Structure formats: C-alpha cells, structure tokens
Amino acid sequence: MTTFVQQALNGLTIGMIYALIALGYSMVYGVLKMVNFAHGDLCVLGAMFSLTLLRATGITKGRLNIIEVPLTGTRLVLVLGMVFLGGMLCSTITSLIIERLVYRPLRRASILTVLVSALGVSIALSNAMMLVFGREMKSFPSLLKKQYFTVLGATYSNLQVFIAILTILLLIGLFYLVNKTTLGRCIRAVALDKDMAGLLGINVNRVIVAVFALGASLGAVAGISHAMYYGQTYYLTGYQLMILGWASAVIGGIGDMRGCVIAGLLIGLLEAVGGGYLPILTGGLFGADYRRIFVFLVLIVTLVIKPAGILGKPEVIVKA
C-alpha cells in the first residue's frame, strides 16, 4: 500500500510536468495542425538557461551547482522568480524565432515538409544547446531547502508540493485565458477557421505567435520543474520530453486541453506506479527502467480503440 501511495504521489508530480508539455504540443497543433517536435528541446532550453543564470549570479557554485547559503524568504522568492521567468523568456524568444524563420514560411507547405523541418529544428536546437551549454549531464539545484511530509506512510517533499501548486495555478490561468478572454476566443477561432478569423479583423499571425509564446512558457516551467525534480538536466533530455509530451497530447485527444492534462497525469501515474511494481512482479527480471512500456501500451491501446484520443473529436483527426 505504501509503495502504491508513494509511486502515485511521484507519478502525479511527473504527470503534471507531462501535462504542461502536452499542452504546448496541443495548442500549437490546434492552430497550425502541425507537430512542433522542437517543443521538448525548448523545455530543456528553459532549464539550461536558468541554470546559466544561477551560475552567473553566483547563487550556485561548482560543477555540482551547490547552493552554499540556503535560500529563504524574499531571497528564495526572487531567485525562483528569476529562474522561472528567465527560463520562460529564453524559451519563448527562441520559439518565436523558430516560428518566424521556419514554420511561418512553411504555412502552406505539405504536412510532411513541416514534419521533417520540425524534426530538423529539434536536432539543431539540441545540438546548439550542446555547443553552448556543454555536453555533460548537469546537476540542477532544487533551490528549496528539503522538507518532507508523510502522507499515508509515503513521503511527499516540499518540492513536489511546489511543483503541484505551480502547475495548478498555471492550468487555472491558462484555462481562464483560453475560455474567458478575448485572446482566448481568438485562439479558438483561429484553431477552428483561420480565414474566417481574418475576415473578422483578427491578425492570425499574431494569434499564432501568442500560442507559440504560451506553449514555450509552459514548456520552460515544465523543463525547469523536471530539472529541479530530478536534480539534473542534459541537452538530450528534450527528446525524452518530446516523446512523453507528444504521447500525452495524442492520448488525451490532440487539440483538447482538458484531455492533455488528464492524459499527462495518467501517463505520469502509469509510469511511476507501473515502474514501481515491475521489478516486484517480475521477480527483478524487468527493472523500473522498463516503465515506459506502460506509456506506449496505453498509446497503442488508445490509438486502436479511440484514435482521436480520450477527449478528442474524430473530425479533428480527419481534418489533419
């Protein structure tokens, strides 16, 4: 029982990160009907850049990025603000440059051209990160002074609480923005019918830029949370995040934001709970390294039973 609760709590934390990543995929897919494969790398870029900020400001020291004076009070808030806002800004700017230089000229190109270009951008971006930030695995500080709570016998850390609160606040903000504001209405209108949106006076390019900015910002938060949670970041992590984020978006119903959140949490849970029990159930034959099996099993089952995803509508897939 304790194992289950523990793995479920861990799974929810990582699931929230996947949900944030999946939303970036889903929103871009919604307006452009394309898969922005570079999104995973943009998430990592956020983490890489904020680590650079931490080093440049002397908050962390040495190759292990140790914080010598524990951060508390206002200082903690300011550092967290710098880390997250800095990372978001860096990912957003990069994302907008990619949109302008690569995706916009390909707006009317065939879907395959766009797909291959997006993969190319992903490879270019991860290699650029390798050149700029280095090829080694980097340790990333959790920034919070470690504290633990006991929930039903399982351990829950203050970092997990922090990630949960941050994600929930972002989700509330995002759903409010998309459902209740003028920008949100424009985003939905552009996703449904770009030409008609233009006829009503909506600058479609500007809306698309806003979507890329939103996606990259959420992605940076996810990337930084991921780095804080695992205590490390690596220029190739984006590939992993891309697979899991994209799988969540597809399982949830690409283009459907609620579906993405549900699927992200589901995948995080499956991965953690499944990974936790796998060695026990197979007598150690399969270790937790095989946890991704569950993700792809669910992906395959979803594609067979309900190709449009948990909450997706079939016609969206047909239009793609």
For residues 31 and 297, the answer to whether their CB atoms sit within 8 Å is no
Q: List the one residue from 197, 218, 254, 262 that touches other proteins (CB under 8 A).
A: 197
- Report CA-CA distances (Å) from 265 to 10, 32, 85, 197: 11, 25, 24, 33
Among 21, 43, 186, 270, interactor with other proteins by CB under 8 A:
186
List the structure tokens of 126.
């991860």
Q: What is the largest CA-CA distance in the chain?
A: 63
- Shortest Cβ 102–other proteins spacing (Å): 21
Residue among 214, 180, 315 at smallest CA distance from 255: 315
- Choices 73-81, 105-113, 142-150, 195-203 (CB under 8 A): range interacting with other proteins: 195-203
Q: How far is CA 175 from the centre of its chain?
A: 16
Question: How many amino acids of this chain bind other proteins (CB under 8 A)?
Answer: 17
280 touching other proteins, by CB under 8 A? no
d(CA 242, CA 245): 5
CB of 208 to other proteins, least distance (A): 12
Number of H helices, E strands in the chain: 13, 6
**Contact region with other proteins (CB under 8 A), list: 27-35, 119-127, 196-204, 232-240:** 196-204
Going by C-beta distance under 8 Å and a sequence separation of 6 or more, which residues neighbour residue 209?
A: 96, 99
CB of 15 vs other proteins, minimal distance in Å: 27
The identity of residue 54, as a single letter, is L
Q: Which is nearer to other proteins, 61 or 313 (CB)?
A: 313
Question: What distance in Å separates the CA atoms of residue 20 and residue 302, rounded to the nearest whole number?
Answer: 20
- Supply the minimum distance, in Å, between the C-beta of residue 100 and other proteins: 16
Verify binding: residue 176, other proteins, rule CB under 8 A: no
What's the rounded Cα separation, in Å, for the pair 35 and 27? 10
d(CA 241, CA 292): 12
Considering the complex, what minimum distance in angstroms separates the CB of residue 302 from other proteins? 22
Minimal distance, residue 196 CB to other proteins, in Å: 4
Q: Does 109 bind other proteins (CB under 8 A)?
A: no
C-beta closer to other proteins: residue 29 or 235 = 29
Among 8, 31, 189, 216, binds other proteins (CB under 8 A): 189
Question: Residue 32 or 54: which CB sits closer to other proteins?
Answer: 32
Nearest in space to 138 (alpha carbons), one of 234, 40, 241 = 234
Q: What beta strand segments (E) does 159-294 contain?
A: 232-233
113 binds other proteins (CB under 8 A): no
User: Does 199 help bind other proteins (rule: CB under 8 A)?
Assistant: yes
Contact range with other proteins by CB under 8 A, out of 70-78, 105-113, 148-156, 201-209: 201-209
Residues that bind other proteins in the complex, under the rule CB under 8 A: 182, 185-186, 188-189, 192-193, 195-204
